[in-house]
Amino acid sequence: AGWLFFLKDITESEATHPALCNRQRLLEQALDGAIQRRELALHYQPIVDANRAVLGMEALVRWQHAGLGLISPGDFMPIAERNGKIVGIGQWIMQTACAQLAAWQRAPHSRHWQLSVNISAREIYEPTFFEVLQDTITASGVDPAGLKLELTETLPLSSPDQVLQRQLRNLVDQGVQLVLDDYGTGCTSLNYVKHLPVSWLKIDRSFVDGVLDNSRDQKIIAAILALADSLDIRVVAEGVETLEQFDYLHRAGCHAFQGYLFGRPLPADRLTDRGDANQLASSVLPGNYRVPA
Ligand code: C2E
Ligand code: MG
Ligand code: MG
Ligand code: MG
């Protein structure tokens, strides 16, 4: 009767943490009209190759509320998923991201950057998702080859259905790349690799955290890399914070890297107002950084 205890836990935590529930309710109400009040913003975090060259950015949404302060996506996106506001928020994110990507594609130093946009399960199963995405791509004038969609493994079906597969293939045919985010943490990983035309696996930060001293993490990463290699899929590691972690992952065979070691998520104007690509690279990367031999 494990699930009964689970239920009891939830009920107890509601009773013993009324402040938490109030905060949830407060956030839910405040989320109403957040887009209209211009409280949402996208920050961009660099993804680099083994030579620390910027391959592109990941768009990460931020919510700045006048009274509640800066609220992280981990706090408000689950609420938006539950009440359906994610659909409108997701459309705003995609429009903003595509406008930014179009601007980067027009500038010489960022012409080849790719922009990763996170898509939640709730968004992708919205009947109009692909139509709206196609319209956004067209209206923004981006080259779709610069766009990556990061899908989390928590999509609700055990394997993606035919319609979803066809729609995703249609995007891939236009050059859009699919990334499986938080790879290794879900239970449907292999079904998604089997059924979707995936270009990248993104190793979850929880494995990167322990990569230097946890042999289980090391073995899991090796298994992900072997799987990806045999299927011609590239691997990006997220949450790389130290040079030692980077060194390990680089030697293990990861193709791309993302994390505080290379740069934190920043508003676009703080990334691009520094001029050319080399200046950008050194401004988002620690000055003493060297690629290990
Ligand atoms: P994610 O897509 O796996 O994003 C990675 C998270 O790790 C981001 O947190 C990022 O700021 C953080 N991070 C990056 N490098 C490091 C590092 O070196 N160390 C540590 N400790 N953390 C690092 P963030 O921005 O709070 O986003 C959390 C999650 O919220 C994301 O996980 C994603 O699932 C979701 N999310 C964020 N933006 C969006 C969005 O625009 N749309 C959707 N649907 N979900 C989003
Ligand atoms: Mg992501
Ligand atoms: Mg991730
Ligand atoms: Mg994650």
What DSSP string describes 85-117? THHHHHHHHHHHHHHHHHHHHHSGGGTT-EEEE
Region 203-209: mean pLDDT is 96
> CA–CA separation, 253 vs 246, rounded Å?
11
Mean pLDDT estimate for the chain = 86
Give this prediction's pTM: 0.89
119 in ligand 1 pocket by Cβ < 6 Å? yes
60 in ligand 1 pocket by Cβ < 6 Å? yes
221 in ligand 1 pocket by Cβ < 6 Å? no
The CA distances from residue 135 to 60, 71, 171, in Å, are: 22, 30, 12
Region 145-155: mean pLDDT is 87
* C-alpha of residue 106 to centroid of ligand 4, in Å: 30
* C-alpha of residue 212 to centroid of ligand 4, in Å: 19
- What pLDDT does 271 receive? 83
Q: Is the confidence at residue 5, as pLDDT, over 50? A: no
User: Contact 192/222 with Cβ under 8 angstroms?
Assistant: no
Region 235-239: mean pLDDT is 98
Q: How confident is the model at residue 31 (pLDDT cuts 50, 70, 90)?
A: very high
Mutation test residue for ligand 1: of 100, 118, 150, 262, the one with most atoms within 8 Å of CB: 118
Q: Which is nearest to 224 in space by CA: 212, 241, 243, 211?
A: 211
Region 192-221: mean pLDDT is 94
Q: How confident is the model at residue 132 (pLDDT cuts 50, 70, 90)?
A: very high
265 in ligand 1 pocket by Cβ < 6 Å? yes
| Residue 151 phi, psi dihedral angles, 5° rounding | -105, 135
Scanning the structure block, which residue is given the tokens 């499986």? 180
73 in ligand 1 pocket by Cβ < 6 Å? yes
> CA–CA separation, 78 vs 93, rounded Å?
16
Q: What are the helix (H) ranges across 32-182?
A: 73-83, 86-106, 121-124, 129-140, 162-173
Q: Is the confidence at residue 293, as pLDDT, over 60? A: no
Q: Give residue-wise pLDDT tens across range 138-149.
A: 999 999 999 999
Q: Is the confidence at residue 163, as pLDDT, over 60? A: yes
Residue 116 or residue 25, greater confidence: 116
- Nearest residue CA, atom 41 of ligand 1? 61
Pull the structure tokens for residue 56. Answer: 């592109």
Pull the structure tokens for residue 33. Answer: 């009209």
Q: Is the confidence at residue 45, as pLDDT, over 80? A: yes
Ion ligand 2, residue ranges at CB < 5 A: 118, 150, 181
Scanning the structure block, which residue is given the tokens 């031999």? 293
- Nearest residue CA, atom 19 of ligand 1? 239
Q: How confident is the model at residue 156 (pLDDT cuts 50, 70, 90)?
A: low
- Nearest residue CA, atom 15 of ligand 1? 259
- What pLDDT does 185 receive? 86
Q: Give residue-wise pLDDT tens across range 49-108.
A: 999 999 999 999 999 999 999 999 999 999 999 999 999 999 999 999 999 999 999 999
Q: Is the confidence at residue 281, as pLDDT, over 90? A: no
Q: How confident is the model at residue 224 (pLDDT cuts 50, 70, 90)?
A: very high
Q: Is the confidence at residue 186, as pLDDT, over 80? A: no
* C-alpha of residue 243 to centroid of ligand 4, in Å: 20
Q: Is the confidence at residue 279, as pLDDT, over 50? A: no
In Å, the largest CA–CA distance within the chain is 61
Scanning the structure block, which residue is given the tokens 């957040």? 34
Q: Return the percentage of the chain with pLDDT > 70, whole number.
A: 82
237 in ligand 1 pocket by Cβ < 6 Å? no
- What pLDDT does 239 receive? 98
70 in ligand 1 pocket by Cβ < 6 Å? no
- What pLDDT does 155 receive? 61
> CA–CA separation, 29 vs 168, rounded Å?
34
- What pLDDT does 283 receive? 45
